[in-house]
Chains A and B, each alone.
Chain A
Amino acid sequence: MKAYVLRRLVSLLLVLLGMTVVTFVISHVIPADPARAAAGMFASAEAVEAIRQEMGLDRPLYVQYWNYMRSLLHGDLGRSILTREPVLDDLLRRLPASLELAVAGMCISLPLGLLIGVVCSQRPGGLTDVLARGVAVLGVATPAFWLAQIMQLVFYSVLGWFPAAGRIATGCAPPPAVTGLYVVDAALTGNLAALGSALRHLILPAVTVGLGSAAVIARMTRSSMMEVLKQEFVRTARAKGLAERVVVYRHALRNALIPVITVAGMQFSGLIAWLVLVEVIFAWPGLGSYAARSVLALDFPAIMGFTLLTSTIYVVVNLAVDLVYAFIDPRIRY
C-alpha cells in the first residue's frame, strides 16, 4: 500500500513536470503578447517594450522556462501580471472558496445521484425510471452557464429566496479563517449571522454545480445496480428473507459502487471546468473566476499557476479514488 502510494506520488511529479512544459510552450507559442495586454490598448510601443523587459519576455523561451522552474522549486509561482501579487498567494486565497463550492456541489450530487440511480434500477422501464432518466439526460446536456442563469432568474429574481452573487453579504464580516470554508468556519466559531449568509450564498451555485454531476452519477448507479441486482448473491440474500431495503442498500449498492466512485471522482475533478463558468456568473471569488480573468488578460504566471494547481488536484483526487476502492472492496489490494 505504502509503496503504491509512493509510486503514484512520484508519477504525480512527472505529470506535473509534463504539465509545466506543455502549458509553458503552449502559452508562449500562441501569437499573444502579454506585454501588450498588460500595457493596455492605448499604450505606446515604447511602454510595451519596457513592460516586456520587466517581465523577462524578451529572453529566449528556454531561459524563461529555466527561470520559471528554478523559482517553482523554491515555491515561487511568479507574480500575477493582473493582481501584482504572488500567484501562490492568489491561488491559496481563492482555493478555499472553490473547495467549498465543489464539496457542497458533491454533497448535493452524490446522495441525489445515488438515490435516483437506485430507485430507477428497482423497476427499469417503469414510470419513475423513464422520468428520472429523462431528467438525467437533460442534466447531462444542460450547459452550466445556462443552468446558472436560470437558477438566478428563478430563485433570486422571481422568488427572492437566495442572493445572486458573492460568498457572503458585503455588510457581513467573513468568519475568522480556520479552514477557509465560510460555512464550516462560521459554524465552528458559532457566528450565526455569517453562517446564515454564507449558506444562503452557497446554495444556488452549489446546486448548479451539483445537478450536472448528479445526473451522471445517477446514470452510472442505475446501470451498475442493474448489473449487480441480477447476480446470484442478491437472489441468495432475498431467499434468506432479508428485507428488500437491506438487500438493495447493504448488499447490492455496496457492490455496485466501484464504477460509481470512479465516475464521482472524475466528476469532482471535472467540476473545476464547471467552476470557471459558475463562479463567473455567481461572482464567486474562487479559482474558476480567477482563471477566467487571467485567461482574458493573458496573465501567464497566473494561468500556469492555476494549471499546475488543478492538475495536482486532479491527480490527487484520482489517487484518493483508487485508495477508496480498497475500502469498499476488500478483495482489492495494492
Chain B
Amino acid sequence: MKRALAVAAVLLLFGTTLAGCARGGQPQAVRPLVYAFHLEAKTLDPHVDDFGYDRVVQSGVYEPLMDYQPKPDGQWDLAPALAKKWEVSSDARVYTLYLQEGVKFSDGTPFNAAAVKWNFERLLALNKPPADTFRGVKFTIEEVNQYTVRFVLETPRAPFLYDLAWPLMVSPSVMKFEKNGDRAQEWLQSNALGTGPYLLKEWVKGSHITLVRNPEYWRGWKGKHLNEIVLQFIPDAQTRVLMLQKGDADLAAQIKTAPMLDSLRASEGVVVEEVPGCTMQSFIFKLRGPLQDSRVRRALALAFDYEGFCDKVLKGLGRPATGPFAGVEFGFDSRLPRFKQDLAASRALLAEAGYAGGLPSELQLQIISAFIPQQKDAAQILQSNLAGLGIKLKINDVADVSTYFRSAFDPDLNVGPDMYAWAYATRTGDPDRTMRQFTEDEIPPKGNNGGFYRNARAKELINQAISESNLAKRKQLYYELQKVLIDDPPAMYLAVFNDYICRRAEVKGFDFILAGARGPRWYYMYLEK
C-alpha cells in the first residue's frame, strides 16, 4: 500500500507533461509565445498609463493611428496603421488623416472619424501621463467625413504627426461601462476593447496575462503570426535568464548586466541582439557660481574619460554620446564632434575662465545608483579626473527618487547639488520634447530644467524647428541646435546605454527599438518551426 502511494505521488509530480499542463508537447506553430517580463502591467487603459510594462500588453489589443518604424539610419519613420495616409499643410498647422475603412473594434463597433475624435477627447480630459505628448499643444478635431479626420492646430507644430502616432484607440462603446463619470476607467483597468490583432483572454493577477488572436482582425491572419501570447511576470532577472536558457520563455525582458548577457550568449538556442538604446545618460550642470561660465562647463566635460567609462565600466553595454541627442531622434547628426577626454584643453579653458588652479569651492554631484548603478562609476571616474585639475567633487548618492527630484528640481537655483545625474529619452522619435527641457520655459516648478539652463539661440532654434514643415530645413535647425548645446553645454553627455533583445532563436520579427517606446508590434512576430 505504502509503495503504491509513493509511486502514485512520483507519477503525479513528474507525469504532468502527459496531462497537458506543460508546453513541451505542442507544435511550434501553435504553441504560445512566452515573454518573461519583469513587471506586471498597472492598467490596460492606454489613456491612463503608458509605461513600458503597460504598453507591452496594450500594444497587442489596441492600435495607434500610425506606427513608428525604424529606418536603416536608426531614426524613426511613420507607417500606416489605423490611418492609411495623411496630409500636412505647408504651414504645419492642418493635419488630415484618412482612416482605414471597414475596421471594427472587437465588439463590432465601427472605427471611424467620430471614434478618433472621442479618443482624443477622452485622452485630454483624463489628462494622465499618456496625454503628456500633447501638453501645451492647442488643437481642434473635425470629422470631415466618416473616414477622414482633421486636426487644426493654433500654432504650427512640425512633429505633430509623431505625436498623433502615440495614443492607442479605444472603442467608444466602453462608455456603457462608465461609473460615476470615470469615462470607463475602472472597467478598462482590466478589460480591453480595441481594434488590435489580439484579444485579452485572461489576466491572472500576479502571474500572467494571456492574449489570443482576434479572429476578426482587419489585416487578416495570412502568413506567419503568433497564435497566443503569454506575458509571465517574473520579477527576478536571474530567473528570467534561467527560463530563457531552458526554453520555458521565448523572450526575456530587462537583462542588463554583462554576466547575465554573457551567460545567455553562451547558451544554445538563445540569441542576444544588441540594439542602440534611446536614453541619454547625463550629468546636468546647475548654472550657478563658476558653472555659469560655459568655458568651465566645457572644461568639466572635457575632463571626463568617456572611452574608459564605456570600455571598462559599461564593457560594451553602452556607447559614448555624440552631443545632446541619443541617436534615434529626427535630426541627429553623427558627424558632430564627440566629447573626448582632453585634459590640456580642459586646463586651458579653466585658465581662460580665471580658474587656473581649480575651482574655489568643492562641487557636489548628486546621483541615484540604486536605479542606475553605473552612475556611481561615472561619478567616481569624474571625481578622479577632476582631482587632477584641482577641482574637488563630492558625490552624494541619494537612496530614493523623490528626495532626488526634490533637490534636483528645486525652484530655487541655489538649493540642491551643483550637478545631478539625469536620463532622458524621446518617446515619439522627435527631439522637440527632450530638447525643450533646456529652455527657460521648463525651469522648475514648471518643468524639468533643474539646471536653469538658458541660451537664447538654443531656444530660438527649438522654436523655429517646431514650426518648420520642410524636413531638410528642420534638420538643419536641429544640427545647429546640437552644435549650440555642445559649445554651451547644459550637461555632460556621458553615454547612451544599449538595449538587448534576449530571445530564443525561433522567435522572429521582434522589433525592439519600438518596443522600448510603444510596445512590441506583436502582429509581425512569429515562431519559426
Contacts and interface: CB of A to CB of B under 8 A. Distances in A.
Interface string B231-273: 0111110110011011010000000000000000000000000
Interface in A1-47: 30-34, 36-37, 39-47
Nearest to B50: A40
A260 to B, nearest CB: 28
A84 interface: yes
B412 to A, nearest CB: 14
A170 B231 CA distance: 9
Given A36-B401, A37-B402, A281-B239, A196 B21 contact: yes
Interface residues of A, number: 63
Given A36-B401, A170-B210, A193 B21 contact: yes
A33 B405 contact: yes
Contacts of B20: 171-172, 193
Contact of A32 (B39, B135, B204, B403): B403
A185 B441 CA distance: 60
A165 B409 contact: no
A130 B527 CA distance: 55
Contacts of A281: 236, 238-239
Nearest to A285: B206
A53 interface: no
Interface in B427-478: 444-448
Interface string B205-217: 1111010000000
Given A174-B204, A193-B21, A47 B235 contact: no
B417 to A, nearest CB: 15
B232 A44 contact: no
A42 B271 CA distance: 32
B471 to A, nearest CB: 26
A319 interface: no
Contacts of B242: 152-153, 156-157, 164
Residue in B12, B425, B446 whose Cβ sees the most chain A Cβ within 10 Å: B12
A93 B40 CA distance: 15
Nearest to B400: A32
B43 A45 contact: no
Interface stretch (A245-253, A288-296, A309-317): A288-296
Nearest to B127: A50
B91 interface: no
Contact of A84 (B42, B406, B444): B42
Given A36-B401, A93-B205, A197-B16, A169 B239 contact: no
A171 B16 contact: no
Interface string A155-192: 01100110111111111101000000000000000001
B239 A283 contact: yes
Nearest to A34: B402
B21 A166 contact: no
A320 to B, nearest CB: 27
Given A43-B132, A47-B129, A36 B402 contact: yes
A200 B13 contact: yes
B46 interface: no
Contact of B21 (A46, A97, A197, A285): A197
A78 B13 CA distance: 41
A40 B12 CA distance: 46
B34 interface: yes
A171 B21 contact: yes
Contacts of B42: 82-84
Contacts of A42: 132, 424-425, 448
Contacts of A43: 129, 132
B401 A32 contact: yes
Given A45-B444, A165-B239, A169-B22, A157 B245 contact: yes
A132 interface: no
A84 B189 contact: yes
A41 B205 CA distance: 25
B229 to A, nearest CB: 11
Contacts of B40: 83, 293
B230 interface: yes
Interface string A81-100: 01111000010011001000
B51 interface: yes
B19 interface: yes
Nearest to B446: A45
Contacts of B444: 45
A156 B206 contact: no
A156 to B, nearest CB: 6
B337 interface: no
Given A39-B129, A164-B243, A285-B207, A293 B235 contact: yes
Given A32-B400, A196-B13, A293-B235, A45 B447 contact: yes
A169 B448 CA distance: 45
B321 to A, nearest CB: 18
A165 B236 CA distance: 10
A152 B239 contact: yes
B248 A47 contact: no
Nearest to B405: A36
B312 to A, nearest CB: 27
A289 B39 CA distance: 11
B16 A193 contact: yes
B15 interface: yes
A286 B233 CA distance: 13
Interface string A220-246: 000000000000000000000000000
A84 B402 CA distance: 21
A170 B446 contact: no
B23 interface: yes
B32 interface: yes
Given A42-B448, A153-B242, A160-B246, A192 B19 contact: yes
A149 interface: yes
Contacts of B406: 31, 33
A78 to B, nearest CB: 16
B243 A84 contact: no
A46 B446 contact: yes
A169 B40 CA distance: 17
A57 B2 CA distance: 62
Contacts of A93: 205-206
A165 B232 contact: yes
Interface in A95-150: 97, 149
Contacts of A170: 32, 34, 207-208, 210, 230, 232
A207 interface: no
A109 B15 CA distance: 26
B236 A280 contact: yes
Contacts of A271: none
Contacts of A286: 206
A174 B202 CA distance: 12
Contact of B32 (A37, A39, A41, A171): A171
B402 A44 contact: no
Nearest to B228: A171
A195 interface: yes
B423 to A, nearest CB: 8
Given A45-B447, A165-B239, 13 more contacts: A31-B406, A32-B403, A42-B132, A44-B132, A45-B446, A47-B129, A85-B189, A164-B242, A170-B34, A171-B230, A197-B21, A281-B238, A283-B234
20 contacts: A32-B400, A32-B401, A39-B129, A40-B129, A43-B132, A45-B409, A83-B205, A84-B42, A160-B246, A168-B207, A170-B207, A170-B208, A171-B21, A171-B32, A172-B21, A197-B16, A280-B235, A281-B236, A283-B207, A283-B236
The 7 closest A-B pairs by CB, nearest first: A285-B206, A33-B402, A196-B16, A193-B19, A172-B21, A169-B21, A197-B21
Interface of A: 30-34, 36-37, 39-47, 50, 82-85, 90, 93-94, 97, 149, 152-153, 156-157, 160-161, 163-172, 174, 192-197, 199-200, 203, 280-283, 285-286, 289-290, 292-293, 298
